[in-house]
Amino acid sequence: MEKGFLSTLKGIRKSLRKKKPLYMRIQKQTISYDLLKKKARRGFPPQERPRIWRAIITAHTCDKTHANSERADYKISKSFFRKTIDTTFMRQEDQEKSRRVVSVLTERGVLPALSITHPLLIALCLFFDENTVIDLYCKLFFTERHEWRHFPVSQLEYTFTADIFSVLLLKHAPRIYQHIAGIQKTEPQYTPKWNLFLFEFFISVCTPCSFLRLVDCYLVEGYKVIYRHSLAYVLLLREGIFEAATGKELDCCFINPISDAGFEAITSKAFSLKLKRRKIAKYAKRLGEKYEKEFVYGTPTATIESGILRDHHVEILKDWVPYKNRVGTLKRVFSVFDYGHSLKTFYSKCEALDHLVVVVQTREGSVFGAFISQPLSKRKERHGYFGNGFTFLFGLCPVVRKYKWDMKSGDTSFVLADNKMLCLGCCEGSIGLWIDTGLENVQFGSSKTFKTDALTDGKTKTSGFEAFHFFV
C-alpha Rg value of the chain to the nearest Å = 25
Q: What is the mean pLDDT of each run of 10 residues along the chain (472 residues)?
A: 55 51 40 70 81 72 30 29 39 69 62 52 79 74 46 60 82 89 82 72 74 82 81 88 86 79 86 78 60 42 66 81 75 86 88 87 88 84 78 87 82 84 82 89 87 84 89 68
pLDDT of the residue at 247: 82
CA angle 168, 171, 172 (to 5 degrees): 85
> Residue 416, SS3?
strand
Strand-pairing partners, residue 444, are: 433
pLDDT of the residue at 370: 92
Instruction: Report which DSSP code applies to 78.
Output: G
CB 198 within 8 A of CB 234: no
Torsion angle, alpha carbons of 129, 111, 370, 421, to 10? -70
Domains in the chain: ranges and CATH: 155-294 (1.10.472.80), 299-471 (no CATH)
CB 269 within 8 A of CB 232: yes
Q: Where are the beta strands (DSSP E) in 92-150?
A: none
pLDDT of the residue at 24: 40
The amino acid present at 432, given as its one-letter code, is G
Which sign, positive or negative, has the C-alpha torsion 192, 196, 200, 204? negative
Nearest-angstrom CA–CA distance, 169 and 280: 12
Nearest-angstrom CA–CA distance, 328 and 129: 32
Q: In whole angstroms, how far apart are CA 408 and each of 67, 176, 294, 368, 425? A: 11, 58, 35, 24, 14
Tens digits of residue pLDDT in 229-277: 888 888 888 888 888 888 888 888 877 778 878 888 888 888 888 877 7
pTM above 0.75?
A: no
Question: Residues of 255-269 as b/e, b for ≥16 C-beta within 10 angstroms?
Answer: eeebeeebbeebbeb
> Residue 5, SS3?
helix
Nearest-angstrom CA–CA distance, 139 and 376: 29
Residue 93 CB burial class (10 angstroms; 0-12, 13-18, ≥19): exposed
pLDDT of the residue at 368: 92
H/E element, 423: strand 421-424
Q: Give the distance between the most distant pair of CA atoms in the chain.
A: 75
pLDDT of the residue at 90: 55
